[in-house]
Structures are given as structure tokens and as C-alpha cells.
Structure 1
């Protein structure tokens, strides 16, 4: 009977077709096995799988604050995975995982019949976890019509080899460390930290089911972008877990009723905590990696080798600093804009706007391409929908290039740095108001005129060179004839009594300009410049008497390190941000210790200066720390305001933390409209005040907020024990010239330069 059946023509053709198809697929399989369609990794290569890993940036306590990566991946060990995470994965993706050897023949037969022969795309892929791992590890290649077949065969070969080498636990570990989740995130640890702000080992049933559910289609089921779809898919995962006995059905119902509960935390380079700090760490790390190599003699890859960077940043303190900055700058910005009324320079000053336009890279590229000014203007007039920064919240607006430029020209910017004065370890770092839109770093890159924050260096040099704290100087202005009749004045103007004399404490705590110049005239410019150099100010400063008023442009880092000397046994520090770098296995590649420097002045000078700067806070230009913000901490400090109110500064010194804040405009042509608004006590000091108010509420920072200055010596107390002011006697007032003129002592040095 069989012979009769075989004699039928259609049966013969069916057998021929079947045999041909079978031979074809067998030939195709073996050709793939032999590497004719690309090399298939052998068991030796599979035994030493090394996956790209993100470099992690940790704060001082080991908390993750950022990553550098091509693929956002962080590896874990099997013991780090909660059981319900594994249960969710197996129940949803590969229920027979523990029974097969990499290939689930039942599923594979379904794929062959439905997907390949019947072209039913809805039938599913039939992939096991091991097959998916093979795909995750080695990707896929396009072979046109036969892509699916060739890739499936190739993955099946790899999967079988993986199963021969690794245990089921090891396969699950590799899979969960490499599988792609939503938002360009690879591995369960990165996904857990991004979507729920916690390590994978802390994921609960609902969170684990949400992430496992997204694996079916990580874009379509993205819990951030499509929460409704994600929730529905999560509940499918929970149902699967109930179906296969991972959890009780009652628990399925309870978990399914819960919201997603996302706590999204992006590790994108432009957002998240301390973006300016992370960018600075990346720059320094790139330089460090040029000096070391891996065990194979090859350079380390910042984005692929899974390095661990331990930094000095205190993430809790940074969070409070950023909150304080945003609270103050959002209010100050409104006041700044309102102060111009209808005469805002970003709208009315055509020359200013034109100069800003010509500075744009796009303008320069158009010019290079030969476009006329008219053509460039027409191009810049085209409006597009763009996302723009605003303190009220980012919004999408239709703007031209010119509109956008004018929008961003109005914003004030800021820089803030807090360091541990004994070491220079950076605890907070704010380089600007928002890294997404303002990339320029005002901590590490910027140099701005420091105004009256330079005066303590003048007074330090004076006391170090023998001037007594109770030396008195008149408030009266002097015209220095050998400096183009330069006449420094005080902000009090004509209301000040020229017959009143201040001692050094009164003069510095009230930031008196006329006396600061008189002090530098007495001590000598060279000695002041040398004192600043000893305190860590490395750039060449102008050899001019106006240096006493802070005309020099100094980097905020150097300024902070110099002020640290007043609470660090007279030794300045160099602010630093990296303590050590390890490889993925914890082996230390390089470590850093605080840079040791010599004392810049005597302990007597240090104590005197500290007492004077305490007065600045208690009764002087920074007294609003006490009166307005009600801070009772031990604080010394100095305010600073530059000419035409372009820069506002505040330096806050406490025994265990030194903080410097700056506020101003990136465009030097734009300043505050009045000293009332732009003075350091109003523009920069409130950031420090709000920051410390927040620190005071957190017991974790008691070692900073409750620290106390050391008591000054009896000699210092005695030398400061004098009247703040003295009034000239009758005869002195009678014969005193109304407009005194003299030559500045530094003129001889000036001519010899």
C-alpha cells in the first residue's frame, strides 16, 4: 500500500519538496555552524565573556550619582537578585527554562510552522532565556529574506554552547545583566535605579513585574512614557506568576491593584544631581586614564570598562545646595528683569544683541559658507518649536534663533562651591543654574572680578607684616595723583563723615573701600600680591592699588581654597573631587590624598582675621545672616560686589565647611541696575543662608552646623580690644584738607615694571 501511495505524483513532489527543504535547512544550519555567515563564538570565547559596563560615579558614602556609558549597564551577582524577580522572568519569558538545554523544542516547532512557513508574525518568537542571551551578547545581522532563520540558527548554536559552559544561575545572571530595558538602559540594576531609584535587590513584587513586563517591547511598554500600557503588561506578568505558582492568587489581585509607583532618576549626563560636578570629574578622569593601563597593557575605556570613581561629593548636601540656589535665583531673576522695566538690554541694546548673534557658532558657519547678512537674518528669523528653560518650568515655544538668543540673554547665572577646609574635599559643586542649557562651568572654567572678597588678603598681609588691629584710618577719600588722579570712594558717598576713623575690624567688616586702599598703600602692593600667592592664588594679579578693591579676575576654586586657610591652621587647600578609581573588581587603580601646603601666615594673623570676619557676619555687611535668616551658627564671612554691580559674592566660613557663592551675568556688558539689588549681600549671600538653614534642619550635618570656632588667644583678644571708631579732634579737623591728594607709594615700583 505504501508503494502505491509513493507512486502518486503529488506525493512524490511533496516528498521532494520536504526533502529539499530539509536538506536546505540542514545545509544552512551547518554553513552557519562552520561560520560561513559570520564567525560563531566558540566555547573558549564564550567562557571569557566580557561585557561593556558603565563607569559609575559614587559620592563620599558610596551612593551612585552618575554614570559614563555607551550602554547603561551595571552587573550584579545572582545573590543580588530577589527571588520574585527571577520568578517573574521565568514565568513570563521561559517557563521551561530549568528543563531545556537552551532550545525549547516545543516553542521552536511552533516558530518553524507558524512564523516561518505560515509567516504568522503574531505567533511569537519562541525564544528561550538562553536564546535571548545569545542575541543580547552578539546581536543580529541582516540577511534580507532569510534574516530570521539565519539569526535563529546562529543563536541556537550559541545557546547550546552557553548551556554547556554555564549553570542556569550563571545564565540568568548574564541575562539580567545584559538585557535591554526602556530608555537605553541595559541590565536590571541600571533599570531598577533609573525607574525606581533603588538597587535591584530592593525591588518589590510590583516593581520587578513592571520591569520584566517591559522586556516584551521596551519602547512600547516604557513605564515612564506609557504608564497605562506598562501597568497592563505588569499585571500580565503577575498573572503568569500566579499561574505557575510563584505567588498566591490573592497576592496577584492585591499587587495588580497597586499603581506603578515610579521614582524616575535619570543618569543622563545633562540632568540629575550635580551635573557640572560629574562633567568636571569626567574631564579629570580622562586625564587620569591617560597615565594608567589595564592588565593587558591597553588603555582603560571610560565608557566601557565599568570603572568605579569614588568622589568627595556629599549627595545630600548637594541636594540642599541645589534647592537653595533654585529658590533664591528664581526670585532674584524676577527682580532683575523687573528692575529694567521697558529698557531691558537684551531687547533695547541693538549692539549688544548683534554682538551676541555674531558670536553664535551658527552665524560663523553661515559666514564661512558665504551667506550674506540678509540671508543669515532670514535664516535666523525662522521660528521652530523648541524647549526652553524657564524658572517657572521648561516650556515648548515657537522661537527663532534671535528670539532664543534674547530669551537666554536675560538670565543671571551662578557658581557655588563648598569644601572641607582641612582637606579641600569638595562637598557641593554648582557650576550654573541648569546644565542642560548653560554648559559653561562657573566653578572650574570661569574667572570673574572678585570685588571686596579680595580685601581680607590685603588685611592679612598688613597684620602679617606688623600692622596692629587697632590701627585707625580715616574714611575720607584720597586722590592719588600718580594714578590718573584716581579717587576711590565708598558706597556711602557724601553722607559719610570724613573725620571718622575706623580700626581694621570696623573697616573690613563694613567693607570700606577708602581704607582698604590706604592699608595696601601702607603695607605695599608687592607684599599683598605675595600674600595672595602664598594663599593659593596662582594667576598673575595686576600690580595696581585697585587690586585692594578686587579688580582681579580669580577662579572660584582658588578663592575657596585660599579662604580655607583661615580655619586650617593658616594653610590653603586645593579643592579636589576624586579620592580613588577602581576597576570593576574593586582593584584600586589610582588614589588621591589632599595636597599638603605650607602655612601662608602666622596663627596670630589667622585668629585676628577670623575674629574680624566674624564681625562681618555679626554686625557688618553680612549681618542679614543673623537679622533676616536667623542663623545662629558660628560663621565668619565676607561679601563682595564689583564695579557697576556686575558680580556679587559671598564667602561663608564655618569651622568644618567653607562655601563661596557668586552671582552675575555671563555677558559682562549686563549688570544689576542698582547696588541694592546687585550687592553680594543681596545677590549671593541668600544662597548660602538658605543652604545653611536647610543644613540646620538635618541632624546628619550636626558636625558642620553645630561646630564652634576655637577661642582666640588672650593676645588676640587684647589687641582687638579697642573702640571701633575715633573722631578727629578739633584742631585736626580745622587744618584737615577737604580733598586730600597724595602719591601712592607703589608708584616707584610701577615705573620700573
Structure 2
């Protein structure tokens, strides 16, 4: 070697002797300066690459876990749709194919393969660009795409090389392979080898054979270009290239290769949806709040292994999911019959024509130059399109929520029948007319003004002037009985005529005020007479909060979703304070209202709770149905749980087209009934708990002048201004006195929304 160096120096000296001295000096400076400058530049890039701590953190990346109150996993917050598997849970065929194709000296280098890098440079200069990155360098790009980038520049390659060296210093070789195979993307929102195996072959990663492994590893050169679903011929050719590399590196027998390369590409493709656990809408609802919290505290929701303790009870969540799924299937059968081609879904139906005109396919056809009539006719004749449109529009939806009225803890949250099919949240985001479930706020306002459940009104036709010659005439399912009826029965049987008269006395403004105070705090309430029958859209979450305030005797408790957040080691990072009950309504009036609402369950529109579901616990509630049976509601109150459900369609123009199934007592009540039945039967909820009266509710002694009271009542029946007619037991109060304000008329020009129809059960 020494002689060779001396000979080399002599030859170089001879060559340089012919070079002018200034040029020789420049060449020498270049030989020294360029590597030195490159070294300085490389060292300057080190601070701009991920640190060792970042790399170690990435290696142990853990998604945040959302836990139920009883310690069950509800969801994980991940960067991507990925399920991490250990190296021993991955087929050896995958590892052999990967190393043979991407980096056959993987176990011999320290992150950089100089021979491969030099070879790639030579081939690139010849016009055949080749990648020279090792598996470790590729992992550096996968873990830190923003810090390193993917542009073909010297800076990027140097940052990649520096990071690769740091990874080799932090990871073992097996850890590098495991991390790489769990982070590489495979299209279709599938990240990592496990999700790829499920997506393309419907099996787990440990079950992949040689052909399947070669197909997936072959995709790494270009996931879209070698996509076996869209480009099967390219994918098969690339698969065979991988197999040949396995033969070359001694990982596959040549005879096997001859047989395997002739086999066709067999794909069992199924796009994988992200699993969000048993309470997906709840998890999504919390995500933004948790991201904001984590950012403010210097944590990552997706990688720091946070543990979020929630108020959800996994048992109650399971009962709610089952109840919604079962009733959803039942109602879907009704909808499928109601909207079959024979019964209503056809080209002559005006609503169907409107739905077609609103479709993206119709707009696309018109944009291409078709006339509106031609586009409409073509789509109406398209059997596949019409079937798809019908399935989308007539898909029954539902929402369910259960909450502890005392603590405010949300116990169960079901936002739709199927999160994957319809992620829209019908608990928090959907605003629908509540129908008769809004009536308790009317009666609550009356009780706060001195009325009692025993007060009576005539079940007779009602006309309420709205101004401008308009008159509102609320009706029930049948003609009025023209008989006296107590307020208790009016609420139990959900009589519109009785409720409208009570609304006359207390006024729409006061009813809206009561509803807002109790919990309907985000939705706008139109202060018009028909508000009494639930014409202003609200959310299920608001209604559950308001009913919880009734159980809580007029004390509002903000709904609680999270109790604490811990780090990955169990250290509590933050405990969320319990909400302070806010007294928003007269406790005695709330108690009277709560007790009166037992009537709907005991003898009114919700008796199925007793007769069908056998629930004998001390409960109260209210059903609700809106115009044309568009929305069905039911909310049930228990001492420690308020549970409510809504059923309907995303498009309010679609209904079940059934006066029987469209009622809240038959569409929404079964979800709550089954939920409570299971919860009590399995002793998750104590069926022996009873409401406690904090105030004396014994009726006051009769007035001395019963004849005078009767005379006033009769006189009121014949007053010309029904807006001023007094309600028995509800004496008008002077301005400035306690209780309710004087009755006021609607402002000029006010518009009353359509009056919702009510259930036809028990006279409702």
C-alpha cells in the first residue's frame, strides 16, 4: 500500500508539473475547500433536523386514549388510519421482500450505504435517476416529512442522512424495520403493513404469503403507479421484480420463482374505515377541544399517550347503541315499504323530481350542456341512480343522549345509526322541531305563575288572533270534547287546545324565557303562540339539558364530558372542576312540573314505558311528534338519568308516511324504553330510586267564594278578546308583581310557524 501511494504521488506530481502554478494552487484549494465547505454546511444543518429526543419520542409515539368512566377504551386519536403491530406479528415474507428489494445491506450499514449512494449518483448522471436511500433514510422521511421534505436537493439529502444517523443511534435494526413497516403509506387511507394487508388482501399482516408480500413491497416504489386495484398489470410486473430480487439475495428458491411469477394477481380489496369505537360522535365532538387543550399545554394529542377520562358509562353506551340499531332497523323497514317504487318512489312524484334536480348528477349533466328536461328525464330513467338516491334520501336517522341530571355527566351519546354511513351528529348539530316535548316549558311557566295541575280548562276549539287578520287555530287529532280538562291531563295527553290556552295566559316571551333558562341556550326560539307546540328547531342535547334542570328542581348544570387528563405514566395533568348548579327556575314550580310529567308515562301518551318495557321505576317524560310525522321525540326522566331520542330523516321533506309509526311514542320511545329496561335490569341504574319532593305540594284550601270564581270563569268564556281570558287557578298579576308578567300580544307582523301534529295515542 505504501509503495502504491508513493507511485500515485509520483504520477500526480508528473501530471501537475505540466499545469501552470496558479492553476495548481487553485486545484489544491478546491480539493481542500470543497469538502471543508460541505462539512461546515452539513454541520450547520444539524440543528434543523429532528433531535434525538424527537426521534425517541417518534419511536414510542402513542395516540391519546379516550376512556369511559368505568375504564373501557372508547377511542384513540391517531394521526392516520393505522394499527401498530410488532415485528414478530408481521410475516417473514414481508421482511425478506423489503430487505431484498429496498436495502439488502440493511444489517451491515449504519444508516447510509455509501456504495449504493455512489451507484445511484452514477446512474442518475447517465440519465437513469435511481434512489439511493436506505430503509433508515426512507424512515427518516416518513417520520419527519415537514422537517426533511422530499425535494431533489442537496440540502434535503444531507438532512435525510443526518436524521438517518440519529435514528440508527436511537433504534435497533429490528425497531427500525418495525417502525418503517408501521408508518409507510399504502393509499386508500391505509398506513402501515397491517392496514395494507387488510385493505388489499382482507387478512392480517402475519398471514401474508410470498406473492402478497411482494405485491405490497412492490408498491413502495410508487403507491399510485403500482396500485394493484387500478393498475394490476404494472403491479404484477413489479411484484415479479421483487420476487426476482428475493431470488438474487437468497430469500427465494429459483424454482419457486419460476412457478410464482406466472400466477395471476389476486386482490381481495376492501377499503378500511377508521374505527372510532362505541361512541364515535362523542369522540369527534371532543377532539377539537382536546387539541386546543394539548396545544396550550405543550402536548400532542396524537403522539404523547395522553389518557382522557370521560363521563361515558360503557355499559349504558352499549345499551344505547343496541337500542338505536334495533329501532333503526325496524323503522327502516317501514320507510322502505313507504318509499318503494310501487308506493311512492317514482318518476311522477313531484318530490322525487325535486330531489333529482337537487342532485350532483343533475347539475353535472346540465353543466355539460344537457337541457334541464333532458337531464331530468335521463336520470329518472336511470335505475341505478334512482336506487342510490332513494337509499340516501329515505335512510332513517336517529339521535340518542343520556345524562345524569345531578352531576351533568353525559352517560351515553349516539349521534346517528351508523357513524361510517352518516357521521352527521343528530345530538349536537341537528336542529329539529321538538313538537310536544316543548310543552312542559309552557306548563312550567304557568306553574311558576301560580297555576296548579288540578286547574281546569275547556277542551274546546281555540282561536288566537295574530294580527293583520290572521288567526291561529290549533287542533288535535280529533274534535275537541267540549269537556273540562285539568292541566295535568292536558300535559299527559298532550292536548294542543289546552296547551294553547295556557300559552295565551303566560305569553310566548315567558315560555321562551323558561326554555332558555332551563337549557335551550343555543337555538333561536321564535316568540310566537305556536312556540307552545314546539315549532322552533332545537337540538336533542339542549332538550336533555332542559329536562335535567326540571329533575334538578330548577337548577341548571352544564353538561360534563371530561373529568381528567393524564399523561402516559398515569400522572394527572388536569382535573376538571365539577360544574356549580345554577338556580334558573322556581324550585317549587319545577317540582310541580316534574311530578305532573309522570302522567304521560302512567296514563298518557307514553304508557308503553310501563306496559311494553315493564319499567315500574319512578319516571316521568314526554312524547313529541311534528307536522306530517316528520320528527319523533321522547324524553324520559329518572332521578339519576335523563334519556332522550329523536327519529326522522336528514331531509325534513321525507317522512315515514305513517300516522302510526310516525308518532314519537312509536318511533323514538322504543329506543329510550329498551335502554332503560336494560340499564335497570342489569342494575346499572337503580330502579328503586324515587323523586324526592323538597316542597309541600298539598292543594290549598278551597276559596271562600266558589260562586264568584265560577261566575268569573263563565264570564271569561264569553269575552270577545280570547287573549285576555283568565285561566282558572291562574289569576292575572299586576305589572311589577312577582311571578309571570302580564299577558302580552305578539308584535305586529309576527309570523307563526306551522303547527306540528301530535301523537294520536290516548287522545293526543
Structure 1 residue 177: deviation in Å?
Answer: 7.0
Match of 1:743 in 2: 722
2:41 aligned with 1:60: no
C-alpha contact 1:477 1:739 (8 A) present in aligned 2 = no
Whether contact under 8 Å (1:60, 1:313) holds in the other structure is: yes
Is the CA contact 1:570–1:603 (under 8 Å) kept in the aligned structure 2?
Answer: yes
Q: 1:307 to 1:73 in 2, by over 3 A?
A: farther
Cα distance in structure 2, aligned partners of 1:302 and 1:84: 28
Aligned counterpart in structure 2 of residue 704 of structure 1, from 685, 690, 693: 685
Among candidates 474, 487, 492, match of residue 488 of structure 1: 474
1:637–1:193 CA distance, 2 compared to 1 (3 A): farther
User: Which secondary structure state, in structure 1, belongs to the residue aligned with residue 646 of structure 2?
Assistant: strand
Shift of 1:705: 4.3
Change (3 A) 1:591 1:186: farther
Counterpart CA distance in 1 for 2:168 and 2:640 is 57
Contact 2:93–2:208 (8 Å) recurs in 1:
no
Which runs of 5 or more residues in structure 1 are unaligned? 1-29, 76-80, 95-99, 118-124, 145-149, 196-205, 227-263, 384-397, 723-727
* SS, match of residue 749 in structure 1: coil
Report how far residue 84 of structure 1 moved: 7.1
CA displacement at 1:143 relative to structure 2? 11
Q: 1:559 aligns with which of 543, 560, 579?
A: 543
Aligned to 1:239: none
1:364 Cα deviation (Å)? 5.0
Change beyond 3 A, Cα 1:459–1:134? closer
Distance in 1 of aligned mates of 2:91 and 2:371: 66
Q: Distance in 1 between matches of 2:594 and 2:654?
A: 34
Instruction: Look up the match of 2:606.
Output: 622
How many residues are treated as equivalent by the alignment? 618
1:457 touches 1:532 (CA, 8 Å); kept in 2? yes
* 1:180–1:218 Cα contact (<8 Å) kept: no
* Cα displacement string for residues 407-461 of structure 1 (whole angstroms, at most 9, x for unaligned residues): 3222222222222222333222222233334343322222211111111111111
What corresponds to 2:52 in structure 1? 47
SS at match of 1:604: helix
Q: What do the CA deviations read for 1:302-339 (whole angstroms, capped 9, x no partner)?
A: 66777655543334432321221121121122224435
- Using the alignment, how far apart are the partners of 2:618 and 2:452 within structure 1? 25
SS in 1 for 2:432: strand
Aligned counterparts, 1:283-294, within 5 A: 283-285=288-290, 292-293=295-296
Structure-1 separation of matches of 2:426 and 2:151: 52
Listed as ranges, the matches of 1:302-701 within 5 Å are 309-339=308-338, 344-347=343-346, 350-361=349-360, 363-364=362-363, 372-373=371-372, 376-377=375-376, 380=379, 399-400=384-385, 402-480=386-464, 484-491=470-477, 493-494=478-479, 497-499=481-483, 501-538=484-521, 539-579=523-563, 592-593=576-577, 595-697=579-681, 699=682
d(CA) in 1 for partners of 2:379, 2:42: 51
| Aligned twin of 2:80 | 71
CA distance in 1, matches of 2:356, 2:642: 39
Distance 1:475 1:265 in 2: 59
Q: What is the rounded CA distance, in whole Å, between the counterparts of 2:575 and 2:271 in structure 1?
A: 29
SS at match of 1:280: helix
SS of residue paired to 1:622: coil
Q: Helix, strand or coil for the counterpart of 2:744?
A: helix
Name whichever of 516-525 and 643-652 sits farther off. Answer: 516-525
3-state DSSP of counterpart to 2:660? helix
Q: How does 1:174-189 map to 2 (within 5 A)?
A: none
Q: Retained in 2: the 8 A contact 1:102–1:159?
A: no
- Tell me: CA distance 1:712–1:36, structure 2 relative to 1, closer, same or farther (3 Å): closer
8 A contact 1:655–1:707 mirrored in 2:
no
User: Alpha-carbon deviation of 1:691?
Assistant: 1.9
Q: In angstroms, what is the RMSD of aligned CA positions?
A: 5.7
Shift of 1:683: 0.9
Deviation of 1:83 after TM superposition, in Å, equals: 11
Provide the TM-score with structure 1 as the length reference: 0.65
Distance (Å, rounded) in 2 between the aligned partners of 1:86 and 1:429? 37
State the Cα deviation string for residues 236-283 of structure 1 (Å, max 9, x = none): xxxxxxxxxxxxxxxxxxxxxxxxxxxx997617x6533333333335
Q: Deviations over 1:671-706 (max 9, x none)?
A: 343432211101110111122233345x4xx34243
